[in-house]
Structure 1
Amino acid sequence: MKNPATSHPISMTRRVALCGLARLGASPWIGTRIASADETAPEATDFQIACMTLPYSQFPLERALSGIRAAGYRYVAWGTSHQEKGRSERTPVMAADAPPAKARGLADQCRDMGLEPLMMFSTVYPEHDDGLKVLQHRIRQASAAGIPQVLTFGHTEGGNRPLWIERFRKLGPFARDHGVVLVVKQHGGSTGTGEACAEIIREIDDPGIRVNYDAGNVMDYLNVDPIPDIQSCADVVHSFCIKDHRNWPVDQDCGAGLGEIDHYRLLQPVVQTGRTIPLCCENIFAPLLPRPTEPEEIDRLARRSREFLETVARGLTQPQGK
């Protein structure tokens, strides 16, 4: 078991345990017997707490990575773009047409800094004219970089469900062949809830396509309570974009634990999945207050979000009575 205070995995998964047996020379038969004996017991989820580079988008990418590491994170999720020095416009973290080798290079840079990349944005709607092509290339990039998940979402005005299903049926096997999972989060419109996203994912029924849950978006765009909503999709949730939300005194997204969403109730439905589930902090900011203008202020907010989520995850995975 890793120490949650360092953003390492909260618990050991069966996969890790069996790999350890294999290294010790245990036979597959023994591993199977162990798994079978334990198959009725729920396994704890392996929560990986990451920070997106997105909160640092007004600063260079390298400053984002160093700040995230300094804030105590072991995991990172690539945002969309950053304001690099000497450039008038923001530079994409990874251009949609960048060669996979470039993604591998950035992933190596992250790992050299002590950060394991867990997720990257696709930056394209599934129904876009080039959606299939771009998503396939994003999957190639992620595969080359060793990034397990690519994130996509629908348009706030609604989505083309038949086209989504048609394209996801092609993308599921493609993602699996590359060792990547394409995750779909809520973004208003017809796929603005976890329930709506899960209906599509279950119809496709391919392990290469799963749900990312964004409670802040569910509450923000549609004013839906995410706590009952996640109950309807927990079986297919494989990651979270972490952002909180307040409806009072202003309608505003904010960092985890600073809004109205109960994160203990939010994560409880996925505590015993046996899966590795990234919790990627997308919004870390305080409500009502101006956005920070100095990167050190963002570092402090990033640390606060990590510590809050570690406390929640540790509490939920702690055996009762301990």
Structure 2
Amino acid sequence: MLTLSVTYRQSWATKIGITYRPSSTLNHFLFGEFMIGLACATLSCDGFGDTDFVESFRMLPQIGFKYVEFNCWYPRTVTPAKMRDLKQRCEDTGLVPISLHCTSFGGADGMDRSRDAAHKIRFMEAARELGVTRVGATGHARGTSGGLQAIIEVLQEIAPVAEELGIELGLENHEGNNLETIEDYEQIFSVIDSPNVGIWLDTGHFDASNVNMDNLIDRLSTRVNHIHVKDNLQKGKKSFTRFGHGTTDNYHVIDRMLALGYSGYITVELSPLEKETIFEDLVVAKKMFERYETTT
């Protein structure tokens, strides 16, 4: 299939009076681009510690995952040297990196927001070094670190950088977070209209926040540029569990997004981790969601 450049697609969309958005319905229906890849986040294997992704590189090829999302939350995980290291290790193991997940958007004051802008710009550079086009993060605890306004202020400065570098920025929802509700996203997008800024839809966290995902999809499906699947035990309460043990209707969310033309990646996030069953739990997740893959 012929792959059209982002610049070409943006210019073509402008000519007919619409806004081009990466990973949106437009790609499917206007440009004939449709692809679903199934990835796994490194936190699923290595947890939240600074483990140098050892377990991810060991487990994921054995389970059969091809695509990997790196959770880079520590100083050594953002350096150019680490990007070269990850790129080489991916080549050695047959894994294909698809995205970087970094620490939270926002800042309590101007200095903190300046640091956050610089941090996100560095991650966009790191993404290019690794050969990926997606960078995502959530926010800080709800009502802290400048709230939603701080996120908007940072995005106003870095969205043009994302457009220049060809990077898709993802705003991931978390329970009890500045990025949590449909209204949070609508407020952001009323100010930030960049085609390179979208939603990293986390199914488990939306369930934990008691957000109606059908309403979210009805109102904001064209802004979703990445999907995280997770299982939660009880709607309205953060109670993550092993895949197949909860009540999160991941299939319904994915099916609706696909019907609307979503094209991109679905990333498995296993939380919490029980060391004795991580491998088995990820095998289950792979079997659950591999039905959606169009690329292997």
Q: Same fold (TM over 0.5)?
A: yes
Which residue does 2:93 correspond to in 1? 113
Which residue does 2:148 correspond to in 1? 161
The answer to whether the 8 A contact 1:243-1:256 is kept is yes
1:264 paired to 2:251: yes
Which residue does 2:274 correspond to in 1? 292
1:231: Cα distance to partner? 2.6
CA distance in 1 between counterparts of 2:248 and 2:223 reads 21
Which residue does 2:21 correspond to in 1? none
The answer to whether the 8 A contact 2:105-2:151 is kept is no
1:201: Cα distance to partner? 3.1
1:157: Cα distance to partner? 1.9
Picking from 190, 206, 216, the partner of 1:229 is 216
Task: Look at both structures and tell me which one has the larger radius of gyration over its CA atoms.
Answer: 1
Which residue does 1:52 correspond to in 2? 41
- Counterpart amino acid of residue 265 in structure 1: H
Which residue does 1:288 correspond to in 2? none
Identity level (%)? 23
CA distance in 2 between counterparts of 1:308 and 1:40 reads 27
Picking from 184, 198, 212, the partner of 2:171 is 184
- Counterpart amino acid of residue 70 in structure 2: W
Distance 1:227 1:273, change over 3 A: closer
CA distance in 1 between counterparts of 2:262 and 2:154 reads 26
The answer to whether the 8 A contact 1:42-1:272 is kept is no
Which residue does 2:270 correspond to in 1? 283
The answer to whether the 8 A contact 1:142-1:150 is kept is yes
Which residue does 2:185 correspond to in 1? 197
Which residue does 1:173 correspond to in 2? 160
Map of 1:17-36 to 2, 5 A cutoff? Answer: 17-19=1-3
CA distance in 2 between counterparts of 1:275 and 1:164 reads 25
Q: Residues 267-310 of structure 1: CA distance to partner in whole angstroms, max 9, x if unpaired?
A: 1332145553211111266xxxxx4334xx32221121011012
CA distance in 1 between counterparts of 2:92 and 2:196 reads 29
The answer to whether the 8 A contact 2:243-2:281 is kept is no
CA distance in 2 between counterparts of 1:292 and 1:75 reads 22
1:306 paired to 2:286: yes
CA distance in 2 between counterparts of 1:104 and 1:274 reads 34
Which residue does 2:105 correspond to in 1? 125
Which residue does 2:62 correspond to in 1? 70
Distance 1:108 1:216, change over 3 A: same
Distance 1:194 1:69, change over 3 A: farther
CA distance in 1 between counterparts of 2:188 and 2:260 reads 21
1:256: Cα distance to partner? 4.0
In structure 1, runs of 5+ residues without a counterpart are: 1-16, 21-37, 82-91, 286-290, 318-322
1:215 paired to 2:203: yes
Which has the higher relative contact order, 1 or 2, with Cα contacts under 8 A spaced 6 or more apart? 2
Distance 1:293 1:44, change over 3 A: same
Distance 1:202 1:42, change over 3 A: farther
Q: Residues 122-170 of structure 1: CA distance to partner in whole angstroms, max 9, x if unpaired?
A: 1133336121111111111111111221111112223533332222122
CA distance in 1 between counterparts of 2:68 and 2:149 reads 33
1:18: Cα distance to partner? 2.2
In the alignment of these two chains, the number of paired residues is 260
1:241 paired to 2:241: no
- Counterpart amino acid of residue 92 in structure 2: D
CA distance in 1 between counterparts of 2:29 and 2:164 reads 30
Which residue does 1:34 correspond to in 2? none
1:139 paired to 2:124: yes
1:115: Cα distance to partner? 0.9
DSSP 3-state at the match of 1:18: coil
Q: Residues 157-208 of structure 1: CA distance to partner in whole angstroms, max 9, x if unpaired?
A: 2353333222212211211222211100112344202452244135311122
